Structures are given as structure tokens and as C-alpha cells.
């Protein structure tokens, strides 16, 4: 029964995510925000709703800290893997060859990496000095929030610049829909995502207990993959719409948002900083996401890459790293 609940909640998230993508793409055209800006900020936050609600439910209702943090860090591992999925569908060579490197990619990737490093250091520091904190928030958690908003502010400035504007499609080539209606549809889609995520958390915790896989592994792999389904839907839908900037921007923006959610989760944790009350294995999951993001940004900046069976070297290396990392997490899941 719990696997059935897990599947149904995933379906709800996917359907709502499809509509979310279409509305965001139309908004970017009509408001001329630019695909990169919409992908990183607007969609990055919206598609991180499942991670946010699932993790908060795990902490508040289930007291499952490892499930919550594993979900967020694991999602950051799965998001770069969406490039591999897009490569498989693109079939015209490496998809990162078709991207034009710009400042927004670089800035969002750097901030995503910085925020992940802060999470890793916070787990390490609070494990050694559990009493060093400000109420429920650790110093590292506070820095995560500060640097997230610095990053968003920086990206907002870039979104108003000529590079982002140049990536915006001609608004006259697509059907005109009232802006208020688009915002309303996005809000409704987000509510369905939230409902599905709440249901998902309970079924995932049951799976962790019934199968013996443990909350750290289930959160880092199963839960992370399902809560990243909106990002996958966004990326595939954006690819079909020809909005590659929207797809790539969403990957980095979602990784930034996920790390900010760690700070939010800390506000609801009882008994000191939340990252001082999780298993050290999450540091490995975080390090894995750092490596995957580095490979992705290197792949974007490398032009005219050779391909193997239609996949760029960046996709192939990410599959190898992700697979080996998942195998390792399975073998040390009790730690």
C-alpha cells in the first residue's frame, strides 16, 4: 500500500509540474523576464516546493531529520543528472554544445556550490561543537540564508541585463494568455505539488522502516528522485519548447533553493541546529553534488565536445559518478 501511495503522489507532482512549466514559459515571453532569470529564480523556487514541503513534513510530523536532509542533498545530486535525460531526448549531439555560456549560469552554479559547502561544513562543525548556535539556527545556517539572498539579488540584476534579454523568445510567436490567469494557474499547480509532497513524505518514511533501507538512504535516493520530478518535467518540457536556458537555469536555481530550505528546516527543528542532529554520511551526499555541478558547468563551458552514442562526455562522466555514489550510499546506509 505504501508503494502505491508513493506512486500516486509522484503522479500528482508530475502533472502539476507540467502545467507549471508551460505557464512559466509563457510568463517569460510576455513579461520579457528572460528564460535564464525565470528558470533560475521563478522555476527554481517553484519546483523546489516538493523538497521543501516533504522535508518540513518529515521534521515537524515525523521527527525524521535524516529523511529531510537526505531529500534535499539527494535532490541536488539528481538535478544535474537531468542533463543526461535531456541528452537522451535531444539526439543532435551533446545538449551542452547547444548552450551559450553566460554569466547567469556561472553565478547560479557558484552560489549553489557555495551553499552546499556551507551545509557540509555545518554538519561537520555542529557535530564537533553542538552547543555553538543562535537558538535553533546555527551560524552556518544563518550564512546559508544570507548568501542565498545575495545570490538571488545578483541574479536579478543579471536578469535585467542584455544577455538574459537576448535569450527571450519573441512574445508574438506564442499564444497570448492574460498574465493574471498565468499567475493563478501557477499558484494552483504549486498547491497540487504541495499536496502531493505531504503525502509523499509519509509513504517514504514507511518505506524506510518497512524495507530496512533507513531514512538516510531513502531520503537521499528514492525521496530525492521523486521530489526532483518537477525539475525533470520542467527540463523535458522546456527542451520540447526550445527553451534550453529555462531548463538549465532551473537546475542551478533549484539547487540553490534546496540549500536555503535546509536553513528553513532548521527553524522548525527542536533541540538545537538540525545539521548537528543528522548522520555524517550526508557530507558525502553533499560532496557528490558538488562534483556533479562542477562537471556540468565544465561541460557547458567546453565547446564542440565529441559525443559517444549521442551523449557528451559530461553526461557520461556524471552517470558514472552518480552510479558509483549511489552504490556507496547503499553499502554504508546504516552509518
Q: Which residue has the higher pLDDT, 159 or 283?
A: 283
Q: Say how many C-beta atoms besides its own lie within 10 A of residue 160's C-beta.
A: 11
What is the distance between the alpha carbons of residues 100 and 269, in angstroms, rounded to a whole number? 42
- Confirm if 314 and 83 have CB atoms less than 8 A apart: yes
Q: How large a percentage of the chain has pLDDT more than 90?
A: 16
162 Cβ contact partners less than 8 Å away, ≥ 6 residues apart = none
Grid coordinates representing 120 are 557540509
* pTM for the structure as a whole: 0.81
pLDDT: which is higher, 197 or 277: 277
Above 60 in pLDDT, residue 312? yes
Distances in whole angstroms, Cα of residue 19 to Cα of each of 52, 184, 244, 247: 19, 11, 17, 15
Mean pLDDT computed over 21-29? 70
CB 89 within 8 A of CB 237: no
Question: Tens digit of pLDDT for each residue in 124-175?
Answer: 886 555 555 666 678 888 899 999 999 988 877 775 444 344 333 333 445 5
How large is the average pLDDT for residues 69-85? Answer: 90
Q: How far apart are CA 89 and CA 100, in angstroms?
A: 19
Q: Which of 63-67, 109-113, 284-288 has the lowest mean pLDDT?
A: 63-67
How far is it, in rounded angstroms, from Cα 87 to Cα 94? 6
Q: How far apart are CA 209 and CA 204, in angstroms?
A: 9
Nearest-angstrom CA–CA distance, 20 and 151: 23
Q: Which of 109, 123, 125 is nearest to 251 (CA)?
A: 109
CATH code matching the domain that covers 2-166+176-331, chosen among 3.50.50.60, 1.10.150.20, 3.40.50.720, 1.20.1420.30 = 1.20.1420.30
Contact by Cβ (8 Å): 247, 24: no
**What is the average pLDDT across 196-212?**
76
Residue 106 scores a pLDDT above 70? yes
Residue 221 near residue 326, CB atoms below 8 Å: yes
Residue 172 is given by DSSP the state: G
323 close to 109: Cβ distance less than 8 angstroms: no
pLDDT for 223-245, tens place per residue?
788 778 777 877 787 777 777 77
Averaged pLDDT, 204-213: 77
Burial class from Cβ neighbours inside 10 Å (0-12, 13-18, 19+) for residue 7 reads: exposed
C-alpha–C-alpha distance, residues 37 and 163, integer Å: 10
Q: Collapse the DSSP code of 267 into the 3-class scheme (helix H, G, I; strand E, B; otherwise coil) and give the result.
A: helix
DSSP assignment, residue 311?
E
Checking if the pLDDT of 318 tops 90, the result is: yes
* DSSP label of 328: H
Amino acid at each position: 500500500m505504501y508503494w502505491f501511495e508513493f506512486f500516486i503522489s509522484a503522479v500528482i507532482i508530475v502533472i502539476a509540474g507540467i502545467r507549471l512549466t508551460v505557464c512559466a514559459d509563457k510568463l517569460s515571453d510576455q513579461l520579457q523576464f528572460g528564460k535564464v532569470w525565470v528558470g533560475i529564480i521563478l522555476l527554481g523556487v517553484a519546483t523546489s516546493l516538493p523538497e521543501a514541503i516533504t522535508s518540513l513534513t518529515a521534521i515537524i510530523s515525523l521527527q525524521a531529520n535524516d529523511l529531510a536532509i537526505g531529500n534535499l542533498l539527494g535532490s541536488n545530486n539528481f538535478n544535474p543528472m537531468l542533463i543526461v535525460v535531456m541528452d537522451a531526448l535531444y539526439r543532435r549531439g551533446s545538449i551542452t554544445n547547444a548552450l551559450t555560456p553566460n554569466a547567469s549560469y556561472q553565478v547560479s552554479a557558484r552560489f549553489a556550490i557555495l551553499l552546499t559547502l556551507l551545509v557540509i561544513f555545518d554538519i561537520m562543525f555542529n557535530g564537533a561543537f553542538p552547543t555553538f548556535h543562535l537558538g535553533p539556527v546555527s551560524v552556518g545556517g544563518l550564512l546559508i540564508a544570507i548568501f542565498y539572498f545575495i545570490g538571488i539579488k545578483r541574479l536579478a540584476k543579471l536578469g535585467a541585463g542584455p544577455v538574459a534579454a537576448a535569450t527571450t523568445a519573441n512574445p508574438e510567436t506564442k499564444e497570448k494568455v492574460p498574465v493574471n490567469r498565468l499567475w493563478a494557474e501557477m499558484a494552483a499547480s504549486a498547491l497540487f505539488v504541495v499536496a502531493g509532497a505531504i503525502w509523499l513524505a509519509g509513504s517514504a518514511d514507511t518505506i524506510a522502516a518497512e524495507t530496512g533501507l533507513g531514512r538516510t538512504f531513502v531520503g537521499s535516493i528514492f525521496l530525492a528522485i521523486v521530489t526532483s520530478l518537477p525539475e525533470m518535467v520542467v527540463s523535458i518540457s522546456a527542451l520540447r519548447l526550445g527553451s534550453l536556458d529555462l531548463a538549465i537555469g532551473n537546475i542551478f536555481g533549484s539547487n540553490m533553493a534546496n540549500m536555503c530550505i535546509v536553513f528553513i528546516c532548521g527553524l522548525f527543528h527542536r533541540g538545537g541546529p538540525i545539521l548537528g542532529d543528522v548522520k555524517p554520511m550526508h557530507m558525502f551526499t553533499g560532496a557528490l553534488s558538488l562534483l556533479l555541478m562542477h562537471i556540468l558547468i565544465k561541460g557547458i563551458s567546453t565547446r564542440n565536445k565529441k559525443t559517444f552514442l549521442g551523449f557528451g562526455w559530461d553526461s557520461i562522466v556524471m552517470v558514472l559518478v552518480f552510479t558509483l555514489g549511489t552504490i556507496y550510499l547503499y553499502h554504508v546506509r546504516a552509518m
